[in-house]
Amino acid sequence: MENPWRVIYTASRQEKKVASFLEKARVEFYLPVYKSLRFWKDRKKWLEMPLFNGYIFVKPSETDRDILLQIPGVVKYIRHNGTDAVVPSRQINLIKEFVELGYNISDVSRNEKFEVGDIAEILDGPLKGNEAEIFKLGDESYIIVSVEALNQSIKVKLPKEILKITSKKSELEDVKPLW
């Protein structure tokens, strides 16, 4: 049986150092990063930043589980209901696709009116087929994609052309709770 993906919490700004130790220890891990342009008084530089500050996904064997806690910079395992939180492989794969592949909108042409709170289906890219809530509007639409095991969300900037409204905010407001 394959080891499940777990999540370790690292000390502040120690994700890359911990990842280096994990690589040397030959433990399967995933540290999703994105490129961010940073400015200083005398220069600007593209840096790779962790997508989830303080978190690294790991696949330790049962014998390596406790050994990982001894790596400098590792604080603890994220726990849920008294056991280590487990992240399904499909969510790790979705994050990998999102980070690595990007979107192709050349063949997609839509002209819908979006409102904050609308639910939209993603028509292209690694998140294709998923639904997400419109979070912010501007030149591009922002949606929220939730990674359940972390109780965190990713704010993703998506072109309006790859979104199709499935539920309008006004329709959702008409639904009254039963209690």
Residue 107 confidence (pLDDT): 38
Q: How far is CA 63 from CA 37, 59, 68, 97, 164, in A?
A: 40, 11, 10, 30, 47
Spatial distance between the Cα atoms of 108 and 135, rounded to a whole number of angstroms: 22
Quick one: average pLDDT of 34-47? Answer: 83
* pLDDT tens digits for range 99-117: 776 554 443 445 567 788 8
Positive or negative CA dihedral for 144, 91, 99, 121? Answer: negative
Spatial distance between the Cα atoms of 66 and 74, rounded to a whole number of angstroms: 11
- Mean pLDDT, all residues of the chain: 80
Spatial distance between the Cα atoms of 151 and 96, rounded to a whole number of angstroms: 18
Residue 104 confidence (pLDDT): 45
Q: Name the helix (H) or strand (E) containing 170.
A: helix 169-174
Please tell us whether the domain made up of 5-87 is placed in CATH 3.30.70.940.
yes
Q: Which amino acid is at 27?
A: V
CB 33 within 8 A of CB 98: no
- 14: pLDDT strictly greater than 50: yes
State the first-to-last Cα distance of the chain, in angstroms, to the nearest integer. 44
pLDDT higher at 133 or 78: 78
pTM of the model: 0.64
CB 145 within 8 A of CB 133: no
- The lowest-confidence range among 16-20, 118-122, 146-150 is 146-150
Extents of the domains making up the chain: 5-87, 119-170
* pLDDT tens digits for range 41-87: 898 888 888 888 999 999 999 889 999 999 999 999 999 999 999 99
pLDDT higher at 89 or 40: 89
Residue 169 confidence (pLDDT): 74
